[in-house]
Chain A
């Protein structure tokens, strides 16, 4: 069945980088974008960006443009999100979610999500 399985919790120091992985199971990896969303404790859901697995094209939210890099390895159906220059306010749970490529001809929504990866930034 469809699953997105993310890597485990991370603890990082300010200024460091973190890389979170998201491995896809049960569907054709290239048929869906992988989006990344985070939730800072006590706050709402924040869209960070997306990657197109086939082409590796990316689209980042303005607030993360200079710090986030999204990549993928299609051979193992895995997407990665790397966030650099970590600050304490990057402490959050990071989620990946899929979105059907070409959904503009039908409807768009995230039907499957990863379980979330807690990232703690602390000195």
Chain B
């Protein structure tokens, strides 16, 4: 299993600041198989990024993704109150298509 480890577990920041979330894979993952999701209580996960760095439709450009190999990063610039959520990475390189354990963003 290609386990994904996200850090930090919780991130507490202020509106307008920049958030940097990390996702580290145990084995190398092709960028086209790395996605990021935003999860709010009572809602299904929302796709934010695919191919590690491509924003999904309707995602504000304050969200950006980068990385390759075993380390990927989600950056949220200019935090807004509505960005309060848990963020998950997921790999599709090899089954099981595991998620990271999530990073909780507090604003």
Contacts and interface: CB of A to CB of B under 8 A. Distances in A.
Contacts, number: 67
B50 A44 contact: no
Contacts of B51: 107, 109
A80 interface: no
B56 A111 contact: yes
B40 to A, nearest CB: 12
Nearest to B36: A109
Given A106-B32, A107-B33, A108-B33, A46 B99 contact: yes
Nearest to B104: A44
Nearest to A48: B96
Interface in B26-68: 32-33, 35, 37, 39, 44-47, 50-51, 54, 56
A44 B33 contact: no
A110 B47 contact: yes
Contact of A45 (B45, B47, B56, B92): B45
Interface residues on B, range: 20 to 34
Contacts of A115: 44
A23 to B, nearest CB: 15
B45 A44 contact: no
A72 interface: no
Contacts of A50: 97
Contact of A109 (B47, B101, B102): B47
B44 A44 contact: no
Given A35-B97, A108-B32, 10 more contacts: A45-B99, A46-B99, A47-B97, A97-B44, A97-B45, A99-B92, A106-B32, A109-B47, A113-B44, A113-B46
Interface of B: 1, 32-33, 35, 37, 39, 44-47, 50-51, 54, 56, 86, 88, 90, 92, 95-102
